[in-house]
């Protein structure tokens, strides 16, 4: 009698939801903060709470970097380019204001 082997059905991989386990040693006050924050935000887990905190920090970092690059750009342009940018901005404000009325 031939033996039939069962093959397990493969789970479809969800690349957007992949998680990596990370073990941390934290000070007790940090753990208390995270648990309090989890309760305040109604996060489903401390991991989700950490994920939210890291996401917020990444967005803030990206905003700071964009601000830094914007300042560097305007610091690098000539007075003539600055005047031209200003003129375009004033034109846009006038046209946008007229369209709003």
Q: Has this prediction a pTM greater than 0.85?
A: no
Tokens standing for residue 41:
């935000």
Cα–Cα distance between 70 and 20 in angstroms, integer? 35
pLDDT at position 98: 73
Cα–Cα distance between 14 and 7 in angstroms, integer? 21
pLDDT at position 84: 95
Torsions phi, psi of 86, nearest 5? Answer: -65, -40
Interval 9-60: pLDDT, tens? 555 555 567 889 999 999 999 999 999 999 999 999 999 999 999 999 999 9
Cα–Cα distance between 44 and 23 in angstroms, integer? 18
Residue 21 DSSP SS3: coil
């Amino acid at each position: 009698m031939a033996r039939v082997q069962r093959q397990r059905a493969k789970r479809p991989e969800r690349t957007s939801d992949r998680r990596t386990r990370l073990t941390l040693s934290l000070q007790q006050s940090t753990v208390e903060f995270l648990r309090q924050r989890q309760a305040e935000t109604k996060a489903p887990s401390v991991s989700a709470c950490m994920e939210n905190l890291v996401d917020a920090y990444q967005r803030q970092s990206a905003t700071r970097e964009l601000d830094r690059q914007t300042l560097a750009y305007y610091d690098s342009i000539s007075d003539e380019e600055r005047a031209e940018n200003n003129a375009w901005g004033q034109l846009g404000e006038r046209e946008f204001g007229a369209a709003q009325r």
